[in-house]
Structures are given as C-alpha cells and as structure tokens.
Structure 1
Amino acid sequence: MNDQREIAIVRWPGQLASAPDELAELLAAYHLQTQAEKGEAVAGVEELPPRYRVEIADPRAVFADHVVLLAFSRDTAAGCLVLTAPVDGRSEVKRLWTDPGFRGRGIASRLISTALVHAAESGVSTVQLSVWKWRTGAIALYKRLGFTVVTESWDERDQLVCMERSL
C-alpha cells in the first residue's frame, strides 16, 4: 500500500537540527550503487573517489550553500535530494536517492516536487538535472514531472542524460 501520510519531507539544516549521519548513510548507498552501475564497483566507502568520500564524511560542509531535503518514514531516513544554490536563475537537482526498502511510496516524486516549490519561491526559473542513461525508471519519473531532455549538455560525462524544467 502506498501510504504517503507516513512520509515527511524536511529541509536540513532548517527544520531538522541534525541529520548528518542519516544523510551520510543515504549518500554512501547512492554512491556505492552508482559506482556498481558504472561497472566500477568498490567494496566500501573508503574506496570511492575522493569527491564522493568527502560528501559522505562531511555533508554539512559540502552542501552548506545548497538545500538538502530528507524524506523520513517515521524516524527512518528514506530518501534525500540536494538542490544546488541558484546561479543565473538555475538550480540543479543532485543526489536524488530513495532507499530501496522504501521505493514505490512516491518518495522521489515528493522530494522533487518539494525541491521545485522551493526553487520557484527562491526565484529560480529553470531546474536542471543529469541522470545516467541506464536509470530508465528515474528518467520516466522526471518526464512525468515535466522535465525534458536537452540537446546541449552542460555535463560532458559519457552516458549522462541532461534534463531541465522551466518554472
């Protein structure tokens, strides 16, 4: 059953005094899964590229200028999303992740919707994101939420699909 009433989306820092441990756990799962999907699986966090290890080690510092949204099911962190600070009227969705045990409950949709509302309230005119092309479920979700694929990529990494949505 899809009971969205049990899911709370909170902004960190802000509505939640501390959440670095929960956020670090979600980020670790996200980065480990992504490395595996890229065919570059590692045994643990300590083997991730340095740019990812630092996010896990100190999310408060890395995301200090951004909006971090956390989804909780009761007292358990179930998902996260980072929305970058606006630059020239644009923000970017980063690190959208729902714990596999909580998928199918609309958490990713709610995280994105909350991020879009925040972006609009902050004067952002366009929200962009990039997603690995093999994440077809995520691409379908983004399309359902109004994102379109752009032809001119801002990210040169192979196999990334760049998308955006005007607000």
Structure 2
Amino acid sequence: MTARHGVSIVRWSDRTASVEAGPAALLAAYHLRTEAEKGEPVADVDGLPDRYRAEISDPATAFVGDVVLMALNGDTAVGCLVVTSPADGRAEIKRLWTDPAFRGRGIASGLLDAALAHAAERGLGTVGLSVWKWRTGAIALYERLGFGVTESWDERDQLVCMERAV
C-alpha cells in the first residue's frame, strides 16, 4: 500500500502470510505493554486475559471480518493495526503498535493513513478509536491526523474515545 523508510504497509491474511510474518508477536508486545502501563504487569502472554491471548494465538479467528494491516521491513513485521468491520457507517481502529526499535520512522502514521484509505474505499463516514489517556504521544498523533475527542462508547476508566470523518 504505502512505503516509508523502506517499510511497506500490507493487508495481512492468514492465508497469504506465514505465522512469523503475522501480527502475533506485535499483538503480544502491545498487550504486555498495555497491562504494564495499567499497573497490572504480567510476566508473559500466559498471564494476559483470555481475550488478549486469543488475539495472539489465533489472530485470523479473533479478527475475522476485520482488516489487519501490517508494516513490514522486508519480511519482518514491525507494526500492526486492526480496522474493525463497519457498523452503522463507522469502523474502529484498534491495536496500533510499532516495534519500539522502528519508532520515529512514520510507521504509525503510515498504518493510520492506510486504515483511513481503507475506510474511505468502503464508503464509511466515520472512524473511531480509543486510547489510554497516558499515551500522550499517540493522542498527539491522532489529533494531527484529524481525530477529535468524542463522547465515550467505552466505560473503562482513563480511556479516551476519538473519531474523525473519513
């Protein structure tokens, strides 16, 4: 889809990408870091809640009907993002993660641009996302890309809901 600093953004499919090139390791890093930031660190994937372990062990099933975008540096997965199936003209962006060794190269912006392009191709009117309030860098990125804070659709404490028109 796009290329930035030698990184390409592709749509992942369990039928076309090997397990090693898939999102499992990135999703594991995302969930482990999130639990630690929430003050609930776990030693490894086995300590994560069932719903997160399911995403890591079988992303094709966990995200059936959704679109998983991957940032690849050669054959190495260095970033991921999930765009949920549309409902009522709206999709949600989830699980945006860039390998820390590859941050600062525009990968997250590239993934978000590809997600917004996907939503536009589908004729969606709005894309939403939720982000923990302490992830100020991510919030600043979302704001630069036109997302604004909106009324929460999620009751979890410290979660900021944002959306933008496509």
TM value normalised by structure 1: 0.94
**Residue-by-residue CA offset, 1:87-119 (whole Å, 9 max, x unaligned):** 000000000000000000000000000000000
Q: Is the 8 A contact 2:4 2:110 kept in 1?
A: no
SS of equivalent residue, structure 1 residue 43: coil
Query: What pairs with 1:21-60 in structure 2 (closer than 5 Å)?
Result: 21=20, 22-60=22-60
Alignment match, 1:78: 78
Instruction: Report percent identity of matched pairs.
Output: 65
1:159 maps to 2:163: no
**Residue-by-residue CA offset, 1:58-93 (whole Å, 9 max, x unaligned):** 001111100000001122111000000100000000
TM-align CA RMSD = 1.4
Alignment match, 2:146: 146
Whole-Å separation in 1 of the counterparts to 2:77 and 2:18: 9
- Give the 3 Å change call, closer, same or farther, for CA 19–86 of structure 1 in structure 2: farther
Whole-Å separation in 1 of the counterparts to 2:18 and 2:115: 18
Name structure 2 gaps, 5 residues minimum.
none
Q: Is the 8 A contact 2:5 2:105 kept in 1?
A: no
TM value normalised by structure 2: 0.95
Whole-Å separation in 2 of the counterparts to 1:97 and 1:4: 16
Q: How many residues align?
A: 163
Whole-Å separation in 1 of the counterparts to 2:5 and 2:48: 35
Whole-Å separation in 1 of the counterparts to 2:156 and 2:60: 26
Name structure 1 gaps, 5 residues minimum.
none
Runs of 4+ displaced beyond 2 Å = 19-22
Whole-Å separation in 2 of the counterparts to 1:43 and 1:125: 41
